[in-house]
Structure 1
Amino acid sequence: MPSKRCICVVLLLGWSMAFAAIGKETAVDNYRTYCTQCHGVDGNGKGINIRDMSVQPRDHTDAKAMSGRSDDTIFKTIKEGGPSIDKSVLMPPWGDTFSDEEIHDLVAHLRKLCNCSFGKEP
């Protein structure tokens, strides 16, 4: 019969993992919080800030344009900002905000929005 101590440890570990999973923001959450102001709720590049922008944000639903960007390029753009790939200075670097894992998750989310992959349109 398992000891009370063992059962308590297992329960505490289970609860800790459950609470950690609840607190973790998903790529959808991060996109909604940090990206929609410029890129729009649907990712179509029509966020509420566009009227004040000299360069229009990327339409993440445009499969033709997005399939021309590698995952590495998208990752670098998110992490280091637009100027890192000779694009707009209006795209800020998010490397201090997101972990590499969160940026990879955002890249995967963008691939879902465009329904495409690098070099392949739907």
Structure 2
Amino acid sequence: MMRPVLTALTLAVLFIPRAAVAEPVSMERAAELYDTYCAQCHGMSRNGKGVNTTGLSVQPRDHTDTKAMADLPDDQIRLVIEEGGLAVNKSILMPAWGEAMNPDEIAAMVRYLRQVCKCGN
């Protein structure tokens, strides 16, 4: 009587889908995310001169500015990506991307921006 129950339990355990281990988001994927969500304002050259900057009273950050970017802690960069400019007392025009990007993608964006500014850890 116990043997069929144990066999059934064993088979059930073997065929339960395992949670997929998330692979780290590549820098290539982070660059694609930047092009999709950030380049309109921050520019394809990452220098803050995107196509949507005409008429803005506050210009977007130049992500190639090594000194200015080095002064920003990773947590602040993560927060502004996730919650938008207002979260760090910056422009309300900087949108929050926390609904569009998952936490792993946001973390990859922080790493990517460190590469762009040549101020990485």
Match of 1:110 among 108, 113, 120: 113
- Give the helix-richer structure, 1 or 2: 1
Q: Which residue of 1 aligns with 2:14?
A: none
Secondary structure of the residue aligned to 1:52 is: coil
Q: Which blocks of at least 5 consecutive residues in structure 1 are unaligned?
A: 1-16, 18-24
Residue 85 of structure 2 contacts residue 95 of structure 2 at CA under 8 Å; is this kept in 1? yes
Shift, 1:100, TM fit: 0.5
Whether 1:61 and 2:82 are equivalent positions in the alignment is: no
Percent identity between matched residues is 51
Shift, 1:69, TM fit: 0.3
Secondary structure of the residue aligned to 2:114 is: helix
Match of 2:46 among 25, 43, 47: 43
Secondary structure of the residue aligned to 1:49 is: coil
- Please identify the structure whose Cα radius of gyration is greater: 2
Match of 1:33 among 36, 39, 49: 36
Give a deviation string over 1:64-113, Cα, whole Å, max 9, x none: 10001000100000000001010010101000000010000001110011
Whether 1:94 and 2:97 are equivalent positions in the alignment is: yes
Give a deviation string over 1:6-29, Cα, whole Å, max 9, x none: xxxxxxxxxxx9xxxxxxx81011
**In 2, Cα distance between equivalents of 1:117 and 1:90:** 26
Whether 1:85 and 2:93 are equivalent positions in the alignment is: no
TM-score relative to the length of structure 2:
0.75
**In 1, Cα distance between equivalents of 2:57 and 2:99:** 25
RMSD: 1.6
Letter in 2 for 1:54: S
Q: Which residue of 2 aligns with 1:6?
A: none
Shift, 1:61, TM fit: 0.2
Shift, 1:53, TM fit: 1.4
